[in-house]
Amino acid sequence: MEKVRTRDFIYTTDGLFFASTNYVHPEGRYISFLRYVPDENGDREKNGTKYRKVSSDEAYEYLTENYPDYLYDCDVTKVKNMMGVPLEKVEQIIRPQNRLRDIRENGESKNPEIVAKLLDVADFFHYVAGIDYDHLGISGSILPGLHKSDVSDIDFVIFGLENHRKAMKAFRENKGKDVYIDEIGKSIKVMGITDDYWDFLYDKRIKDDSLSKEEFRWYENRKGNRGTIDGTLFDILATKDYDEIEGEWGDTVYEPIGVASVECKIVSALGAFDNPSLYTIEDLKIIDGVEAPITELVSFTHTYAGEVEDEEEVVARGKVEKVIKNGTDISYRLVVGTTRESIDEYIKLKESPA
C-alpha cells in the first residue's frame, strides 16, 4: 500500500472522490470520506463529467444505495458502516504537494483568478515564512480540480508541525501589510477575514447553535489560521510530515461508549492545529452523559482546531471513547467532529467571550 496522509484525495474506479482522514490505514483499505460524486445536474465539471459535493448524510446515503463495498465495520474504532476505499478501487492518489507543484510548473487554465491567488499564498509562505515549496500544498476542491471561482476557497496545506507554526507566525505578523518580495518582484498582501465574509463562513461551518456568530468571530480572529487574499478565503492547514507519523493501524483501538458534556481545564494545546486537534486536560467535571475519566479532547473538524489555549477553562460535548493501546494501556477521550457538520458537538470557553 502507498502511504496516504490526511488531506490527500483518492479518485476511485467508480468515479468518486474521497478525502483521506487518517495518517495510518488498515491493510487493504484507506480510511477516507466521500466528498464528490458524479451527477449530471452537478455544479462542478472535470473532463466532461459533472460532479456535486455531498454532505455527511448524503455521503452515507449515496454509498449505502450505490456502493456499499466502501462501507465496513471497523474493528479499531468499533464504528459500523465506516467509510474506507478498498485498495482495488483506487484509481489515483492525489497529493496536495504534487498538485501545487504541477500548478506552479505547468499552470492551470480552470478558474485562473483563484489559481493566481493560490500561487500568491504559496509564495508568501515560501519567501516570508521560509518554508520550502515541497512542504506546501493545496487540498479542498482545487486538489481534484473541482474548484469554482464563485464559491471555492483555498485549503492551503503546510506539511510539518513546526513549519505550520512558522506559517501561522508569518501570517499574524504580516496580515494587512503590503509585503514586497524581491525574488519575484511583487507585493503580496494577506488579510484577516473581512466583514463581508463572516456570515458566509459562519453558515458554512456552524450548523446548529453551538456558537453564536459573535462567538465564532471572536474565536476565528484569535486563532489566526484563516484569512483572505484579494477577497478569497484561505485556511492554513497542518499535516504531519512522514517522519512525524507514528504507530501502525491496530496499535490503538477506540471503543465508543456514549456521549458526554464536560467542564475541564486545558493543560496543553500544543497539538491544537494537528488533525485531529489534541488538547490534554485536567480538573474534569462531567455535566451529563457517560461517566469516564477523560484526559483528552480531540477534534476532527477544522472548526474547533486551535479553539482554546493552555490554562483556559472550557466546556465540551462529544462522543466518549475508550482508548486501548497495545492491548493493555487504557485511557479515555472526548471526540468532537464525528461528522463534518459536528451537530451538538463543540469545544469552547466556559465563559462566553462574546
- The rounded mean pLDDT for the chain is 93
Average pLDDT of the residues in 60-66: 97
Is 151's pLDDT higher than 70? Answer: no
Question: What is the share, in percent, of the chain residues with pLDDT greater than 70?
Answer: 99
> 198 vs 262, which has greater pLDDT?
262
In one letter, which amino acid is 63? Answer: L
Secondary structure, 3-state, the chain: CCCCCCCCEEEECCCCEEEECCCCCCCCEEEEEEEEEECCCCCEEECCEEEEECCHHHHHHHHHHHCHHHEECCCCCCCCCEEEEEHHHEEEEECHHHHHHHHHHHCCCCCHHHHHHHHHHHHHHHHCCCCCHHHEEEEHHHCCCCCCCCCCCEEEEEECHHHHHHHHHHHHHHCCCCEEECCCCEEECCECCCHHHHHHHHHHHCCCCCCCHHHHHHHHHHHCCEEEECCEEEEEEEECCHHHCCCCCCCEEEEEEEEEEEEEEEEEEEECCCCCEEEEEEEEEEEEECCCCEEEEEECCHHHCCCCCCCCEEEEEEEEEEEEECCCEEEEEEEECCCCCCCCCEEEECCCCC
Q: Helices 96-106 and 112-127 sit at what angle, rounded to 10 degrees?
A: 110
Average pLDDT of the residues in 146-171: 90
Question: Taking the mean position of all CA atoms in its chain, how far away is CA 205?
Answer: 12
Q: Identify the pLDDT of residue 194.
A: 83
Cβ neighbours of 148 (radius 10 Å): 15
* Spatial distance between the Cα atoms of 69 and 204, rounded to a whole number of angstroms: 30
Is 326's pLDDT higher than 90? Answer: no
Average pLDDT of the residues in 334-351: 92
Question: What is the share, in percent, of the chain residues with pLDDT greater than 90?
Answer: 80
Average pLDDT of the residues in 21-43: 95
Question: Cα-flanking dihedrals φ and ψ of residue 10, to 5°?
Answer: -125, 125
Q: Identify the pLDDT of residue 110.
A: 84
Cβ neighbours of 23 (radius 10 Å): 20
> 105 vs 79, which has greater pLDDT?
105
In one letter, which amino acid is 94? Answer: I
The tens digit of pLDDT for each residue in 289-312 reads: 999 999 999 999 989 999 999 999
Q: Of 52-61, 94-103, 157-166, 268-277, where does mean pLDDT reach its minimum?
A: 268-277
Is 203's pLDDT higher than 70? Answer: yes
Residue pair 283/267 in contact by the 8 Å Cβ criterion:
no
Q: Identify the pLDDT of residue 244.
A: 92
